[in-house]
């Protein structure tokens, strides 16, 4: 895009020439509270005045980590009561896969076609798209890649399987949601064979789909939950969260089963906690479904093949990748920042900060429809 950014505030990003973009991607589901919310900036500044990095994660009691872990566990199912903070989403995936291997003593991992869990080698191994994996082989052995939302594919999960990693919505496929029935069947299968169920809510967490966590809306709970992106309120942060009894498997033989220098950086935790408090104190999450419905209503055009929405995670599908790219580029020229998806280049990504107003949605949709008409 080559946007030479000098400022980002609320819904807008400004470049060196003074041109402004209405941001419909929010740093890829990171900036749920908009850019630089004053409360988050204040929390960051306060933490900078106290201390930044002091020692590798876990060696000292750092109150921003403790307070944020408390907030998270207070807002999660009682079985998700132990938080391991990481630098990123993919590091959370790595930690969770390692934890599942230690807890079960098994090595087989299962993931789903067209799922994305990060770009490091363990995450790549369970990622569900051969085009993105192939150049980096050999990857981890003994990985099952199953069909998403297929009841039949669940049969392949067995007493050999350490864990099953699943997104509650496959974002990079172009927004395909799982059904509650299927997630429940997956949960039951994992229970029956003793596999851990890892849910990746890195993109869907923190209100994106209209509830604080997407899995609670379906009433199906993971053994390990992955968080990232909006977790840090605009600062880098990830986490894998499990029951203390499971997490204990990382404390013995070797004593430090997962090591990270910067994981849970105090400035990131301070920012994340401020953002999380803002989300739960505001109406932003409860407004998500209405705002999503407004997008869906307004995004009607003969060039648009489909619009899929999981709350304010939306995918607008065009005839093919070439047309999608031209329309995306035209929107960006016109000051509306949109993007594509890794496994769905024929689709436009819309995942704005949750603070977006109805007027901004209308303006954005006008621009997208104009771009569709111009590119036909």
Binding footprint of ligand PMP on the chain (CB under 6 A) = 28, 88-90, 116-118, 167, 171, 200, 202-203, 228, 238
Asked if residue 240 lies in contact with residue 95, where contact means CB atoms within 8 angstroms, the answer is: yes
* Closer by beta carbon to ligand PMP, 234 or else 303: 234
**CA 376, CA 368: separation in Å to the nearest integer?**
12
* Closer by beta carbon to ligand PMP, 174 or else 303: 174
Asked if residue 89 lies in contact with residue 293, where contact means CB atoms within 8 angstroms, the answer is: no
* Closer by beta carbon to ligand PMP, 29 or else 301: 29
Residue 78, judged by CB atoms within 10 A of its CB (0-12, 13-18, 19+), counts as exposed
Residues contacting residue 290 through CB under 8 Å, at least 6 positions apart: none
* Closer by beta carbon to ligand PMP, 32 or else 90: 90
Q: Report, in Å, the least distance between residue 325 CB and ligand PMP.
A: 20
Check residue 156 and report its DSSP letter: G
Closest residue to bound ligand PMP by CB: 89
Task: Name which of 108, 81, 102 is nearest 251 in CA terms.
Answer: 102
DSSP per position, 26-88: HHHHT-TT-BT-HHHHHHHHHHHHH-S--SSTTSS--HHHHHHHHHHHHTS-TT--EEEEESS
Cis peptide before 254 (omega within 30 of 0): yes
Could you count the other beta carbons within 10 Å of the beta carbon of residue 24?
A: 27
Q: Report, in Å, the least distance between residue 116 CB and ligand PMP.
A: 5
Q: Report, in Å, the least distance between residue 25 CB and ligand PMP.
A: 11
Q: Report, in Å, the least distance between residue 68 CB and ligand PMP.
A: 17
Taking only Cα atoms into account, the Rg of the chain, rounded to an integer number of angstroms, comes to 20
| SS3 label, residue 345 | strand
Q: Report, in Å, the least distance between residue 239 CB and ligand PMP.
A: 11
Q: Report, in Å, the least distance between residue 111 CB and ligand PMP.
A: 11
Q: Report, in Å, the least distance between residue 74 CB and ligand PMP.
A: 24
Q: Report, in Å, the least distance between residue 85 CB and ligand PMP.
A: 13
Element (H, E) at 215: helix 214-218
* Closer by beta carbon to ligand PMP, 177 or else 367: 177
* Closer by beta carbon to ligand PMP, 236 or else 266: 236
Asked if residue 341 lies in contact with residue 171, where contact means CB atoms within 8 angstroms, the answer is: yes
Q: Report, in Å, the least distance between residue 123 CB and ligand PMP.
A: 7
* Closer by beta carbon to ligand PMP, 171 or else 355: 171
* Closer by beta carbon to ligand PMP, 93 or else 161: 93
* Closer by beta carbon to ligand PMP, 301 or else 315: 315
Q: In sequence order, which ranges of the chain are alpha helices (DSSP H)? A: 26-29, 38-50, 63-74, 89-104, 121-126, 130-133, 180-193, 214-218, 244-247, 266-281, 284-298, 321-333, 358-375
Residue 301's Cα: distance from chain center in Å? Answer: 29
């Amino acid at each position: 895009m080559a946007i030479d950014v000098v400022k980002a505030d609320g819904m807008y990003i400004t470049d060196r020439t003074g041109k402004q973009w209405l941001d419909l991607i929010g740093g890829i589901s990171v900036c749920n509270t908009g850019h630089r919310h004053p409360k988050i900036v204040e929390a960051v500044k306060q933490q900078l005045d106290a201390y930044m990095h002091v020692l590798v994660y876990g060696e000292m009691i750092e109150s921003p980590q403790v307070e944020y872990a408390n907030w998270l566990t207070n807002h999660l199912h009682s079985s998700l009561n132990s938080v391991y903070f990481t630098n990123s989403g993919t590091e959370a995936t790595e930690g969770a896969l390692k934890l599942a291997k230690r807890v079960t003593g098994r090595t087989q991992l299962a993931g789903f076609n067209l799922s994305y869990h990060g770009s490091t080698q363990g995450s790549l191994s369970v990622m569900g798209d051969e085009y993105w994996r192939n150049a980096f082989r050999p990857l981890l052995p003994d990985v099952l890649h199953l069909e998403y939302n297929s009841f039949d594919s669940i049969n392949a999960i067995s007493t050999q399987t350490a864990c099953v990693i699943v997104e509650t919505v496959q974002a990079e496929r172009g927004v395909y949601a799982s059904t509650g029935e299927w997630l429940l069947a997956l949960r039951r299968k994992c229970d029956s064979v003793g596999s851990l169920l890892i849910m990746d809510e890195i993109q869907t967490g923190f209100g994106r789909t209209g509830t604080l966590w997407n899995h609670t809306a379906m009433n199906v709970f993971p053994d390990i939950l992955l968080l990232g992106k909006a977790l840090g309120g605009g600062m880098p942060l990830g986490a894998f969260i499990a029951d203390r009894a499971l997490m204990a498997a990382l404390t013995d033989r070797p004593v430090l089963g997962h090591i990270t220098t910067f994981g849970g950086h105090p400035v990131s935790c301070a920012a994340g906690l401020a953002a999380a408090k803002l989300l739960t104190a505001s109406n932003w999450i409860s407004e998500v479904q209405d705002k999503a419905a407004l997008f869906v209503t307004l995004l009607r055009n003969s060039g648009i093949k489909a619009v899929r929405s999981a709350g304010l995670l939306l995918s607008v599908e065009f005839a093919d990748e070439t047309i999608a790219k031209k329309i995306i580029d035209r929107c960006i020229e016109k000051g509306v920042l949109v993007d594509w998806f890794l496994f769905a280049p024929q689709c436009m990504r819309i995942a704005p900060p949750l603070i977006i107003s109805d007027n901004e949605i209308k303006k954005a949709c006008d621009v997208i429809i104009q771009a569709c008409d111009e590119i036909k």
